[in-house]
């Protein structure tokens, strides 16, 4: 009895040791991979995602799909080094629910080498190309109330995407200013052209990664980067402060040295690639409004330039192909303006919007569609009649 108990103990010790080894070899180890969506998405756990584990010694692959908690539970893995590859394609509908932007996106993540020698787990976060992009958030052009002061104009461009975007090289253009005339037609639109013809082209400076803009953040480009309300060069009726910390860039209009502009040394200047006039005092988007676009082009300074059809004006407008346009808003003089008088083709902005009249101190601002994790997603149906509203007080860098 004593002996057999000892033998049993001895045997048991050996058995446990060898049994453990056998278990490893026969049944392998269990390992859980949990997949999360990017932090800007409206959900954490990524369900129905394919997770592929590849044994780096044998090249054997095992694929599993994550459950509702975003976890793929692998069982019986041979201990060793593995790569983990995760991928997920989101339909426009799925992407809209998760990001507010209806755009197909392919997400993935890779861990090139993970040691799996015992039961364990790992959380992986998917990444993908930015979904959504730049949109024009706000356009203030009407001028300060009870004044003839319009140097407080600004343009605000918003990162409506899920990832950091770089503003370096982004191009901004205005068409010929809008008119309050309800009889004059606009030559380019009357001819049914799809492209955009710009009176002014501005470019954000930078070599590629100098001006990062986080999701839900924006840049403000001011005609003059000063606090217009209380600067001696400003106007007490102006509703906006566009000084340092609010304006990211300003337009220092040095097109004609005989009409010198002011230059705030603390706020960098945009590049001026084209102006239809060299006798202006400054960048003037027009107190009646104008078509405003943002676009990308590798050589915007060399875009072909044309005069307006069926006019005698010698002003030159740079032709930007429709495909280069990122976003546009057609700001018109008043609510009586008709489609023939629009400045942007309907392929860029199917509608138009207005602050009603000049020197109102009000701006056009894009509507907020929804909010995800504190980030506002702005509405962009390419129809400013629906997408924009009048802000009674302009709100650079805010709402």
For residue 221, the minimal CB distance to Ca ion (Å) is 10
What does each C-alpha distance from 51 to 44, 46, 57, 129 come to in angstroms? 16, 11, 19, 19
In angstroms, the CA 279 to CA 261 distance is 12
For position 292 contacting Ca ion by CB under 5 A, the verdict is no
Q: Judging by DSSP bridges, how do beta strands 249-250 and 218-222 pair with one another?
A: parallel
For position 348 contacting Ca ion by CB under 5 A, the verdict is no
For position 136 contacting Ca ion by CB under 5 A, the verdict is no
For residue 265, the minimal CB distance to Ca ion (Å) is 6
| Sites for Ca ion among residues 99-118 (CB under 5 A) | none
In angstroms, the CA 383 to CA 367 distance is 12
End-to-end Cα separation, the chain, in angstroms: 86
Q: Residue written as tokens 């309800």?
A: 182
Options 124-132, 311-319, 366-374, 382-390: segment touching Ca ion (CB under 5 A):
382-390
**Which two tokens mark 137?**
């958030």
Options 25-33, 236-244, 257-265, 293-301: segment touching Ca ion (CB under 5 A):
257-265
Residues that bind Ca ion (rule: CB under 5 A) add up to a total of 13
What does each C-alpha distance from 356 to 15, 136, 180, 289, 335 come to in angstroms? 88, 19, 10, 10, 7
For residue 313, the minimal CB distance to Ca ion (Å) is 24
Three-class SS state of 2: helix
For residue 246, the minimal CB distance to Ca ion (Å) is 14
For residue 327, the minimal CB distance to Ca ion (Å) is 4
Please select the residue that binds Ca ion; options are 327, 342, 364, 377, rule is CB under 5 A: 327
Nearer to Ca ion, 238 or 264 (CB): 264
For position 271 contacting Ca ion by CB under 5 A, the verdict is no
For position 96 contacting Ca ion by CB under 5 A, the verdict is no
Nearer to Ca ion, 31 or 134 (CB): 134
Q: Where are the beta strands (DSSP E) in 117-192?
A: 120-125, 127-128, 134-140, 154-159, 165-166, 171-177
The residue number with the shortest CB distance to Ca ion is 327
| Sites for Ca ion among residues 201-240 (CB under 5 A) | 223-224
For position 308 contacting Ca ion by CB under 5 A, the verdict is no
**Which two tokens mark 125?**
């976060």
For position 380 contacting Ca ion by CB under 5 A, the verdict is yes
In angstroms, the CA 50 to CA 53 distance is 10
For position 256 contacting Ca ion by CB under 5 A, the verdict is no
For position 261 contacting Ca ion by CB under 5 A, the verdict is yes
Is 110:73 a contact under the CB 8 Å cutoff? no
For position 152 contacting Ca ion by CB under 5 A, the verdict is no
In angstroms, the CA 398 to CA 242 distance is 12
Q: What does the radius of gyration of the chain's CA atoms come to, in whole angstroms?
A: 30
Nearer to Ca ion, 46 or 255 (CB): 255
In angstroms, the CA 96 to CA 101 distance is 5
For position 195 contacting Ca ion by CB under 5 A, the verdict is no
For position 275 contacting Ca ion by CB under 5 A, the verdict is no
**Which two tokens mark 300?**
């915007």
Please select the residue that binds Ca ion; options are 382, 383, 386, 395, rule is CB under 5 A: 382
Binding stretches for Ca ion (CB under 5 A): 223-224, 250-251, 261, 263-264, 267, 269, 282, 327, 380, 382
């Amino acid at each position: 009895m004593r002996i057999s108990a000892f033998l049993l103990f001895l045997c048991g010790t050996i058995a446990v040791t060898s049994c453990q080894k056998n278990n490893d070899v026969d049944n392998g180890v269990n390992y859980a991979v949990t997949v999360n969506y990017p932090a800007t998405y409206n959900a954490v756990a990524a369900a129905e995602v394919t997770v592929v584990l590849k044994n780096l010694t044998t090249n054997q692959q095992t694929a599993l799909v994550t459950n509702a908690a975003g976890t793929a539970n692998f069982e019986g893995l041979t201990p060793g080094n593995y790569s983990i590859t995760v991928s997920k394609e989101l339909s426009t509908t799925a992407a809209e629910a998760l990001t507010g932007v209806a755009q197909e996106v392919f997400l993935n993540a890779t861990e090139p080498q993970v040691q799996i020698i015992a039961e364990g787990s790992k959380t992986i976060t998917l990444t993908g190309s930015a979904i959504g992009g730049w949109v024009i958030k706000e356009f203030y052009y009407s001028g300060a109330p009870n004044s003839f002061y319009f140097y407080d104009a600004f343009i605000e461009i918003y990162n409506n995407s899920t990832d950091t975007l770089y503003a370096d090289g982004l191009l901004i253009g205005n068409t010929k200013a809008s008119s309050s005339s309800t009889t004059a037609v606009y030559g380019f639109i009357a001819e049914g052209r799809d492209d955009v013809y710009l009176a002014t082209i501005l470019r954000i400076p930078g070599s590629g990664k100098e001006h990062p803009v986080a999701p839900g953040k924006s840049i403000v480009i001011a005609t003059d980067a000063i606090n217009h309300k209380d600067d001696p060069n400003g106007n007490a009726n102006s509703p906006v402060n566009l000084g340092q910390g609010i304006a990211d860039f300003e337009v220092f209009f040095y097109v004609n040295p005989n009409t010198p502009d002011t230059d705030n040394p603390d706020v960098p200047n945009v590049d001026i690639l084209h102006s239809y006039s060299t006798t202006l005092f400054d960048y003037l988007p027009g107190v009646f409004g104008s078509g405003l676009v943002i676009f990308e082009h590798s050589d915007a300074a060399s875009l072909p330039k044309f005069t307006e059809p069926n006019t005698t004006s010698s002003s030159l407008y740079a032709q930007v192909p429709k495909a280069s346009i990122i976003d546009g808003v057609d700001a018109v003089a008043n609510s009586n303006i008709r489609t023939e008088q629009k400045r942007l083709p309907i392929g860029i902005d199917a509608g138009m919007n207005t602050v009603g009249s000049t020197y109102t101190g009000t701006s056009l601002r894009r509507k907020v569609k929804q909010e995800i994790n504190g980030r506002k997603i702005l509405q962009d149906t390419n129809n400013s009649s629906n997408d924009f509203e009048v802000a009674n007080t302009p709100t650079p860098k805010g709402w």
